[in-house]
Amino acid sequence: MRICFLRLKNWGAEVQVFVTKPEAQLAEVPRHQLGIVEAMNIPVRVGAPPAAAVFDLVVDGIIGYNLKDAPRGTAADMIRWSTAQPAPVLALDTPSGVDATTGSTFDPVVHATATMTLALPKEGLRAHSVRAQVGELYLADISVPPELYRRPPLHLQVPALFSQSDIVRVI
């Protein structure tokens, strides 16, 4: 997640990050990533952006691939806010509100213009029933060695997917 924000900032974009809870309440990994974002002087605020806020791009990283139930509280508010925006929405790894394993959707759910998933496409993102939420599906290289895919439990023969580009369009 932080890589996306850092790249946008480094490319000259004005970036703002909105999180669902204060830093002290975040798990270790998100707290660490947030520290890097703050060190880059990217403004961080708790809660959904104001209703009148206007952005050129909304990046959804509200809920990751471990979704088990319908989003609630601030996460649900942020999802509803994103669906009301005229700007395109880029979902990171999976649109918030979509179960990346099964393709089930919850209410509320992000309707992404595009989804950038990592390493390998999540099975649920390829389900026809979530096309409207996923939008265009892209796969990004996070430098997973192909040998890891051949090991148990996956036993996959994965070609050099990223030999031409570090981003590949899936659908």
**In the chain, where the domains are located:** 1-46, 47-169
Which fold would CATH assign to domain 47-169?
A: Rossmann fold (3.40.50)
pLDDT > 70: what percent of the chain? Answer: 98
Residue 97 φ/ψ region, left for φ over 0, alpha for ψ in the -120 to 50 degree band, beta for the rest: left
What is residue 158's predicted lDDT score, i.e. its pLDDT?
80
- For residue 3, pLDDT over 70 is answered with no
For residue 37, give the 3-state DSSP assignment. Answer: helix
Sign of CA dihedral 85, 110, 134, 43: positive
Strand partners, 46: 19
Q: What is the pLDDT of residues 61-117, one digit of tens each?
A: 998 777 888 999 999 999 999 999 999 999 999 999 999 889 999 999 999 999 998
